Amino acid sequence: MTITNEIRVDFLSVPENESFARLAISAFLLPLNPTLSEVSDVKTAVSEAVTNAIIHGYGKKLGTVRMHATLTDSRLLTVDITDNGRGIEDLKQAMQPFWTSVDGFERSGMGFTVMESFMDSIDVVSKVGAGTTVRMYKQISFGAACAKEA
């Protein structure tokens, strides 16, 4: 597989930038003519990963969130969301539905479950005190317009 397109963007860990990340990944996908469902799935997963980085990675501190996305000639999308925050002590526990590390917020503890539901697969690498990277994969189909041309 050869990478055909790539973006890397860093942004401040403020809640307003979650919507920026959603828009950026949508624009990145548009040249592939993805289905509306694919765009929605990717936007939702990116939103969850960015929100986790902001809330769980940095808490009340400001930091940088990086979104790095690649597309291959086989239409495989890979999206990394990385923070340099607290890291995750017990990754297995953190990936369990309804578990959250933040008390006092209205958090459902479903972030990783949502990411896994909307993407083909995810990998999480984390080190306490050094941060977390969530890598998500999604195979993009040949949308309706591409299917008609074939």
Residue 107 annotated to the active site: yes
Q: Read off the tokens for 2.
A: 């050869």
**From the candidates 18, 22, 48, 84, which is the catalytic residue?**
48
Q: d(Cα 16, Cα 23) in Å, to the nearest integer?
A: 12
Q: Which amino acid is at 143?
A: G
Of 66, 107, 116, 135, which one is the catalytic site residue? 107
How are the residues of the chain apportioned to helix, strand and coil, as percentages rounded to the nearest 5?
A: 40, 30, 35
Rounded Cα distance, 52 and 123, in Å: 14
Catalytic, 52? Answer yes
CA distance 84 to 148: 45
48 is catalytic: yes
Catalytic residue among 18, 22, 38, 52: 52
Query: Where in the sequence numbering do the catalytic residues fall?
Result: 48, 52, 107
